[in-house]
Amino acid sequence: MEIEIRSEENYYFRLSRYGNAILQLYESTPDFIVPKERAREMAALISRELKDFSISRVKLKMPWGVPVPGDEEHVMYVWFDALINYISAIGWPEDKKTFRKWWPVTQFAGKDQVRQQALMWQAMLLSAGLPFSKQIFVHGFITSGGQKMSKSLGNVIDPLALAERYGAEALRYVLLRHVSPFEDSDLTEAVIHKHYTAHLTNGLGNLVARVMKLAEEHLPSPVIPHQQPAWPQEYSGAISNFEFNRAMDFVWNKIQELDRKMMEEKPFELVHTDIDRAKFILADTFVQGLYSIACLLETAMPATAEKIKAAVRANKKPNNLFPRLPAQAGL
């Protein structure tokens, strides 16, 4: 079969016109693209001379595209029409009030979309006289067993099945703490089960059960939680920088600290020798500590946080937060 060379006329977007303006955006807003190395990639691309890109195809060949205004023979396709959905979905251009309410926004994009999101789209906004995006967070991919997920390889992880088995909040915990926000991360169902059992069932769930069982048995009334201070800078700063794994590590360090105090203070033994001291420690250190942990967990695991708070308010051990599950066959 011989190669056949064909040509056709297309409409182009003049991306080359906006290189300097986009560079100025990157320089004036250092955190516009997170992580910063992605911004350096785009700056290097601009320095190699930007090329205009095609935004249309002949309608006869691609009848499903979006019609080009004023030219019935051409349709827009792929990135040009898709990117516009970011603003058309919030009212632009007709409903300007709704549009101004939401735009600009922070965009989330895979590492294979940096050029489209951080360069092409920003040039399109500039061309239309609209504000740039607020910020663009670029994340890595999730692989499984050291390979890209593929149906043919049979290594695809079904998030709905995982959420049904472990619960949506447990799955969210694994993704936030054990998946890098910026680089590729490897997950398997066996690893997810390991994290669930070690950190949620044996960790947080066990700690809540032990503390609240002691409180239920030995405290005469519910503990009134202290007014919670603002989030610690280490925690809020990690979230602001999209370092979700570091934020979750901060919370789990608090959980482990409280668990260590349980073994050091031994309130479960103290109730038999010094009940007044035991009550004070239970209320001031352990129940208050659990409530503080619940407040930190609200961002990532809101339902779990509310269950812990409800247990404190009721002075009652909650139902098992994270039931022990057997490993599935083959894991």
Partnered with residue 142 across adjacent β-strands are: 185
pLDDT for residue 331 is more than 60: no
- Indicate the pLDDT class of residue 156, thresholds 50, 70 and 90: confident
Q: Which two tokens stand for residue 151?
A: 């149906």
| pLDDT at residue number 154 | 78
Query: Per-residue pLDDT averaged across 256-284, rounded?
Result: 96
Give me the chain's average pLDDT, please.
93
Q: How far apart are CA 329 and CA 91, in angstroms?
A: 50
Q: Give me the pLDDT at residue 77, please.
A: 80
Q: How confident is the model at residue 82 (pLDDT cuts 50, 70, 90)?
A: confident
Burial of 111 (0-12, 13-18, 19+ CB in 10 A): middle
CATH architecture, domain 12-139: Beta Complex (2.170)
**What is the pLDDT at residue 250?**
97
DSSP string, 154-208: T----HHHHHHHH-HHHHHHHHHHHS-SSS-EE--HHHHHHHIIIIIIIIIIHHH
Distance, in Å, from the CA atom of 241 to the CA atom of 235, rounded to the nearest integer, reads: 10
Domain residue ranges in the chain: 12-139, 189-314
**Cα separation values, 278 from 17, 211, 260, 268, Å:** 72, 12, 16, 8
Please state the pTM of the whole predicted model. Answer: 0.86
pLDDT for position 150: 78
Report whether 54 contacts 16 (CB < 8 A). no
Q: Do 12-139 and 189-314 have matching folds?
A: no
Q: How many CB atoms are closer than 10 A to CB 246?
A: 16
Average confidence (pLDDT) over 208-237? 94
Is domain 189-314 given the CATH code 1.10.730.10 in the classification? Answer: yes
One DSSP character per residue, 259-299 reads HHHHHHH-HHHHTTT-HHHHHHHIIIIIIHHHHHHHHHHTT
Phi and psi, residue 73, nearest 5°: -85, -10
**Binning pLDDT at 50, 70 and 90, where does residue 329 land?**
low
The model's pLDDT over 26-36, given as tens digits with 9 standing for 90+, comes to 999 999 999 99
How far out from the chain centre does Cα 265 lie? Answer: 37
168 band by pLDDT with thresholds 50, 70 and 90: very high
Name the range with the highest mean pLDDT among 77-91, 161-175, 315-329. Answer: 161-175
Mean pLDDT of 113-133: 96
Check whether 215 has a pLDDT greater than 70: yes
Backbone angles phi, psi at 134, to 5 degrees: -70, -45
Nearest to 200 by CA among 231, 219, 172, 161: 172
